[in-house]
Amino acid sequence: MNFRRLLALLLCLAVTVGCTLAATAETENAGEDPVLAYLNGEPIRESEVKGLFDYLIEMYSYYGYDMTTEENMSFARGVALNQVVQERLVMAYAKENGLDQFSAEDLAELDRQNGELWEDAIMQYVQTYGTEAEIANPDRLEELRQQAEAFYNKNGDTRETTLESLRQSMITERVQAALAAGAEVSEEDIAENFEARVAEDREYIPDPATYEFYTNYYGYEPTYIPAGFRKVQMLILEADETAMSDFIAVNAKWEEQVNALETDPATASDLDVPATETELEAARQAVLASVKGKLDEISARLAGGTSFEEVMAEYGAPGAEEEPAAADGLMISQDSIIHEPDLISAAFSLENVGDVSEPVVGSYGVCILCYLGDVPEGPVELSEELRTSIYEQLLEELETKIFNETVTVWVEGADLTFTEAGEAWRIPEIPEDATYEAEDE
């Protein structure tokens, strides 16, 4: 069994799940809700921990763990009870230090957050189980919304329970901030983190294609730029809609058959209406003809000494000048996985900085490129924006570390006594000779 992996996952989930602390009676003899332990003299009943325990069992069964074994169930029970202990100690600290009070503004903000949370949850249900026609019908939409709320209520989630969870989260954030008051991140910490990021990005993002994959599909901003990029400014002209639609349709057929010939030539003959190079070129020329007047004007303006930036501002498609690449330039490589082949060819046909390409027809319209220069391989600049991002990340990590360490000390120093019924809810010791290999799938 992979003891440490399971325990880490359980603890990670436990600290993210807020449990509403229920009021309990003082005696152990309470029918089907026995006292499992006493924390500083106050009872912890099974009802307080069972919801989280059931959630852990369901969640990690989904992830492939066999949660029917006593080993794994024992871990889940121990983590669930330990979470309740931590929450009580955090709330006790908050009460002692006046951190559990809410102003009118606080309550209004919590109501707003709770409303957004429920609206998102309800619409997710509606969009999953309702058809477009049903959602467009106000009466049917209201029925779906009511069904959604009933569904969540049946599973134990009400607007009251989620509001209480948000209240506890706000209190916990206040406690974390109070415990970490005065914590600082040094400039050396920031520089060290930046250097570590650069080294990691250099190793795992070694080429332009990988760089584009992470930036465009994951929104990640690497701190190291691999060799092979150049920057161009791109002017986009809006072409005739009909001509563009025809070009896109023919080009899609052309690309489909080219891909078929490259991957499985036998399937190329199965295409319904294969496109020809003649048809593709005719569609391209029709697009260019629709903007010929503008192209002639642009050519004359550039020949007369007007800068490419001025031409972009005057002739570019509406909103294009607001794109970041409009001012800074577009990074493009010969192995690009996001740019169209004709655009790549045009970018790398330019030999000297300042050269301007012939018009290129692409899916966005007619493009004209201006070569700004090659992008040097190496680390990005540690800008103020990046520095602030690293600072905030490190500070959050430091505050979390202080909070976790402090709460651990509180738990270790607490008077926690288990009843006979609660013995099964202790976190068991990990055997010294335990093996930690990944479990077989």
Query: Does 323 have pLDDT greater than 60?
Result: no
| Whole-number pLDDT of residue 269 | 58
Instruction: Find out whether 311 and 235 touch, Cβ atoms under 8 Å.
Output: yes
| pLDDT tier for residue 272 given thresholds of 50, 70 and 90 | low
Phi-psi region of 121 (alpha: psi -120 to 50; beta: other; left: phi over 0): alpha
Least confident of 52-56, 258-262, 271-275, 364-368: 271-275
Q: Is the pLDDT of residue 435 over 60?
A: no
Which of the four pLDDT bands, split at 50, 70 and 90, describes residue 240?
Answer: very high
For the chain, give the mean pLDDT: 86
- Residues 373, 259 contacting (CB under 8 angstroms): no
Under a CB-based contact definition with an 8 Å cutoff, are residues 272 and 399 in contact?
no
pLDDT level of residue 441 (50, 70, 90 thresholds): very low
Amino acid in the structure at residue 248: I
For the record, the structure tokens of 91 come out as 């709330």
Per residue in 82-127, pLDDT tens?
Answer: 999 999 999 999 999 999 999 999 999 999 999 999 999 999 999 9
Q: Under CATH, what is the fold of the domain 228-376?
A: Chitinase A; domain 3 (3.10.50)
Q: With a cut of 80, say whether residue 221 has pLDDT above it.
A: yes
Q: Residue 18: pLDDT above 60?
A: no
Q: Which pLDDT value is given to residue 319?
A: 58
Q: Looking at this protein, which amino acid is placed at residue 106?
A: D
Query: Would you list the domain boundaries of the chain?
Result: 104-179, 228-376
pLDDT at res. 259? 73
The more confident residue out of 385 and 19 is 385
Span 141-171, pLDDT tens digits:
999 999 999 999 998 889 999 999 999 999 9
Residues 290-294: what's their mean pLDDT? 94
The predicted structure's pLDDT at residue 325: 54
Give the pLDDT confidence score for residue 414 in this predicted structure.
Answer: 95
Which pLDDT score, from 0 to 100, does residue 260 have?
Answer: 73
Cβ contacts of residue 115 below 8 Å, gap of 6+? none
pLDDT at 155: 81
Half-sphere exposure of 317 (CA within 13 A, CB side): 15
User: Residue 328: its pLDDT value, please?
Assistant: 78
Instruction: For 415-427, write each residue's pLDDT tens digit.
Output: 999 999 999 998 7
Block residue for tokens 């599973």? 155
Confidence of residue 264 (pLDDT cuts 50, 70, 90): low
Nearest Cα to Cα of residue 173 among 91, 52, 112, 88 = 91
> For residue 367, what are the β-bridge partners?
236, 360
Mean predicted confidence (pLDDT) in 127-138: 94
Of residues 257 and 290, more confidence is placed in 290
H or E segment and range at residue 192: helix 187-204
Per-residue pLDDT of 329-384, as tens digits, reads 899 999 999 999 999 999 999 999 999 999 999 888 999 999 999 999 999 999 99
With 50 as the cut, is the pLDDT of residue 28 above it? no
d(CA 116, CA 146): 16
Average pLDDT over residues 39-66: 92
Element (H, E) at 84: helix 70-96
Could you tell me which residues are beta bridge partners of residue 233?
370
Q: How high is the pLDDT of residue 5? A: 44
205 pLDDT band, cuts 50/70/90, is very high
